[in-house]
């Protein structure tokens, strides 16, 4: 695992003096598989690579992951570096910036995909139109069943089950004995269950 130097340190300038060879020279040696040159190049550019990636990604853990990917890419693609097209540091930092932007795009694509899947699953699991139709049909069935009750049964059921009144409150409102209310409620509920096809 690569050990990266945090951005914002002054070590980058100090490291430039560790190895007198230029980055271009080191990169040419890396292209031939020279691990010692790779270590020296790493020491010179790691702080700047990580600093650039952190400015793009912000997240430290992701920044370190991407920086490691960049150095792996440097090791693998060093033979393709063309000094006539620009300096080694520019080539490396361009690679780092591209990798950081790719990580942002990949993260955004993943979030978008998760959102699409979540929305699709939500829509599949919940059909509001279908539920509304079913509710309306059920409401109509209950209304038809209620119309088959006597007036007192209908009033007692409405007050007790739809308005939440107690038996004594229903009896008071209808001006009938509480025993009559209980009988009408029982009979009314039996008729409703029969009309709605409820077996239990």
Q: What angle is formed at CA 18 by the lines to CA 24 and CA 25, rounded to 5 degrees?
A: 15
pLDDT at 14: 42
Task: Judge if 191 and 105 occupy the same domain.
Answer: no
Domain boundary among 93, 124, 155: 124
User: Do 52 and 107 lie in a common domain?
Assistant: yes
**Is it the case that residue 160 has pLDDT exceeding 80?**
no
Domain with residue 75: its CATH number is 1.10.1740.10
pLDDT band at 90 (very low <50, low <70, confident <90, very high): very high
pLDDT recorded at residue 49: 95
Same domain, 115 and 135: no
Residue 101 or 121, more confident: 101
What residues make up the domain containing 84? 11-124
Terminal Cα distance for the chain, rounded: 68
How many domains, in total, are found in the chain? Answer: 2
Residues 80 and 92: their CA atoms lie apart, in Å, by 12
Of the three residues 69, 99, 124, the one that is the final residue of a domain is: 124
Would the pLDDT of 161 be above 80? no
The reply to whether 37 falls in a domain is: yes
């Amino acid at each position: 695992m690569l050990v990266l130097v945090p951005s914002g340190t002054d070590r980058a300038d100090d490291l430039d003096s560790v190895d007198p060879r230029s980055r271009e020279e080191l990169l040419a040696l890396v292209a031939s598989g020279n691990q010692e040159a790779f270590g020296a190049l790493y020491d010179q550019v790691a702080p700047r690579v990580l600093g650039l990636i952190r400015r793009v990604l912000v997240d430290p853990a992701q920044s370190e992951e991407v920086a490691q990917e960049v150095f792996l890419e440097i090791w693998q693609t060093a033979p393709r570096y063309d000094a006539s097209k620009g300096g080694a540091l520019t080539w490396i930092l361009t690679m780092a910036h591209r990798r950081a932007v790719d990580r942002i795009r990949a993260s955004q694509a993943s979030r978008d995909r998760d959102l699409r899947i979540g929305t699709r699953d939500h829509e599949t699991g919940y059909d509001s139109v279908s539920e509304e139709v079913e509710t309306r049909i059920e409401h109509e069935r209950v209304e038809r069943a209620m119309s088959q009750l006597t007036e007192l049964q209908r009033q007692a059921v409405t007050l007790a089950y739809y308005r939440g009144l107690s038996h004594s409150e229903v009896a008071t409102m209808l001006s009938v004995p509480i025993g009559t209310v209980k009988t009408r409620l029982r009979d009314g509920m039996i008729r409703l269950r029969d009309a709605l096809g409820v077996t239990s």
